[in-house]
Structure 1
Amino acid sequence: MVNELRWGVVATGGIADVVTGDLRLLPDVEVLAVSSRALPKAEAFGARHGIPRAYGDYHDLLADPDVDVVYVATPHAQHHEVTRAALEAGKHVLCEKPATLTPAHLRDVVDLARERGLFLMEAVWTRFNPLIVELGELVRSGAIGEVRSVRADFGFTVPHDPDHRLWSRRLGGGSLFDLGIYPVSLAHLLLGEPEVVHAHGSLVDGVDAEVGMLLGYPGGAHALLGSSLVSPLKESAVVYGTEGLVELPEAMYNPSRMIVNGVERRCEQEGAGYVPQLREVVRRVRAGETESPLMPLDESLAVMRTLTRAAEQVGLTYEDVTTG
């Protein structure tokens, strides 16, 4: 393998901007190429981040033989299309969450990555936050006894605009798949895939404005979760065990402090918080591995199943908008 792992970035929106900034903090990594549907946008993004190659079509970036890894940062509805094309082009892929909008599309790219022996991971940065990693270890060690309940929310107010990506059904908008994925992923990390999913929410223009979820597990353990685009939820989480509790007082999706049975623990954030996730991709690709044990593909499939079960109960579906 070459000394530097060479990355291509597909799309130039806000998340691509922040993640690319963190990517450039890693040693032995070169952000080689960027693509946008509008070439001037790709060129401007490239100039801002010191990226030498700009393309006006992601197919051109995928055809670049020097690109090793592709970071997919398009709107949700294009994730499946771009990820599949990248894998077909022989590229390793880190795709923003949700990796796709339907279980069938996720299974499609997972099977393709495994068939081709390529690395694929859904970019759920929460799973790589040092405190979340520590939380998982605490729970597995029995530090708070048996987990009986997880309560977590993530929401903020977004003025309604049918052209905004969060309110646009054709772009895969809504609170559940963009924000609710974080509380659901946390519940999966600590309790696994639920037996029962109950969800209630409201729809606006075919996307969910808010969703409340109750996930049920054998023996009565449960998770109470929420996501919203119409109210400022606390963005906190509490994990209740039979012998104690853990609190994530703010930014449960990327916490900087955690309170374990009343004792506070803190971590320093690297860059904007995406560095641990990106470092994991580099480590696994260099080692010739095709998945991360911190965010394995089977876990992405399980979380997708839970999200879909909740979506169906509030009348949310993307089956007819995830083509290509």
Structure 2
Amino acid sequence: MKYVSGASLEGVFNPRIESAKKFAEKFELKFATDNLETFFDKIDAVYIASPHHTHYDYIKQALKHGKHVLCEKPLVLSFNQAKEVYESAHEKGLTLLEAIKTAYSPGFLQLLAIARSGQIGRIRDVEACFTKLVSGDVRELRVDEYGGSVTELASYPLLAIVKLLGTEITDFRFDTFIDEHGVDMFTKIYLQYDHAFSTAKVGLGVKSEGDLLISGTKGYINVKAPWWKTQQFEVCYENVQNNEKFFSKFEGEGLRYELSDFISIINGNDKKGFKLTPKESIAISSIIEAFITRQNTTIIKA
């Protein structure tokens, strides 16, 4: 927030008041509370960074109180929930934005512009991977808090796929390793389009190269790990002498980009909304829901 103009960070809500107080003290906030009504009375907009399964209720309550909402990924855990909250925000004239920070970063936007320009021809395949090793008694690995590779990480590769190929998915399936607690530790997501294929790999218990590969009829684009913090990528051709490298800054952890766009949209700059549209966000939620409900899923016990 220190790098973003037009807004100030005032306070924090947490149902566990001691956690709220510690957070407020650490970041020098004006207030901390475990009462939502008190919280909403003192703010204009809310950033929701709570466990996945609580997002839907917090978004609804914030919109009911007339507050703009920036919510961490995954926005919600089903198609119907996503459709409902976006329609509610639209009806109330409020901004609702999903906080997938990659969507708002300069390097990723540059990548999309080049990929869509026809420079590598027609895109026929997208492969995106995001893995990190996690262990212990943590939220990411708790079934009762919707932990697992897909809910934790899939929003990023799915973002790349829907931004490059669109939301008109014709078929899908999942291959997943499930641990003894029922948590998916590594999952491959296959999405099919009329004109292209795509694969997303996510893992909390399996490590892989976190690349993004976009294959076209005239060439391909290779984005090295961590592609979700897009800082450099290479456009490659049959004749390697024609290859081009592109570089871009990715400041901090990327939060400033989504915060800046969030505030800009609230202030009336609707043009910023193309970076992650409601339709794209709803499509991502629907894919995550399909996995949660184990549609077209092959399960291997890890």
Give the gaps of 5 or more residues in structure 2: 237-242
Is residue 84 from structure 1 mapped to residue 60 from structure 2 by the alignment? yes
Is residue 306 from structure 1 mapped to residue 280 from structure 2 by the alignment? no
Alignment length, in residue pairs?
A: 289
Q: Give the partner amino acid of 2:148.
A: G
- Post-superposition Cα deviations, 1:262-288, rounded to whole Å, max 9, x if no partner, equal 322221222322211111011110117
The answer to whether the 8 Å contact 2:77/2:288 transfers is no
Structure 1 partner of 2:240: none
- Post-superposition Cα deviations, 1:179-206, rounded to whole Å, max 9, x if no partner, equal 1221111111101122111211122323
Q: Give the partner amino acid of 2:192.
A: G
Q: What TM-score do the two structures reach when normalised by structure 1?
A: 0.84
Is residue 62 from structure 1 mapped to residue 40 from structure 2 by the alignment? yes
Structure 1 partner of 2:273: 292
- 2: CA distance, partners of 1:276 / 1:58: 27
1:291 Cα deviation after fit: 7.8
Structure 2 partner of 1:238: 213
- 1: CA distance, partners of 2:202 / 2:78: 19
Is residue 196 from structure 1 mapped to residue 179 from structure 2 by the alignment? no
The answer to whether the 8 Å contact 1:24/1:31 transfers is no
Give the gaps of 5 or more residues in structure 1: 1-22, 317-324
Q: How does 1:169-184 map to 2 (within 5 A)?
A: 169-184=143-158
- 2: CA distance, partners of 1:267 / 1:68: 33
CA 1:173 to 1:59, structure 2 compared with 1: closer, same or farther past 3 Å? farther
- 1: CA distance, partners of 2:194 / 2:212: 21
The answer to whether the 8 Å contact 2:102/2:254 transfers is no
CA 1:234 to 1:187, structure 2 compared with 1: closer, same or farther past 3 Å? same
1:300 Cα deviation after fit: 0.6
1:155 Cα deviation after fit: 0.9
Q: Give the partner amino acid of 2:30.
A: P
Structure 2 partner of 1:166: 140
Is residue 129 from structure 1 mapped to residue 105 from structure 2 by the alignment? yes
- 2: CA distance, partners of 1:150 / 1:140: 13
The answer to whether the 8 Å contact 1:147/1:239 transfers is yes
Q: What TM-score do the two structures reach when normalised by structure 2?
A: 0.90
1:144 Cα deviation after fit: 0.9
Secondary structure at the residue paired with 2:139?
coil
Q: How does 1:200-239 map to 2 (within 5 A)?
A: 200-204=175-179, 205-219=181-195, 221-239=196-214
Q: Give the partner amino acid of 1:302.
A: A
| The 10-residue stretch of structure 1 (147-156 or 87-96) with the greater mean CA deviation from structure 2 | 147-156
- 2: CA distance, partners of 1:303 / 1:85: 22
The percent of aligned pairs where both chains have the same amino acid is: 25
Q: Choose which of 2, 11, 18 in structure 2 pairs with 1:40.
A: 18
The answer to whether the 8 Å contact 2:185/2:206 transfers is no
Is residue 266 from structure 1 mapped to residue 247 from structure 2 by the alignment? yes
CA 1:308 to 1:260, structure 2 compared with 1: closer, same or farther past 3 Å? same
CA RMSD of superposed structures (Å): 1.9
Structure 1 partner of 2:261: 280
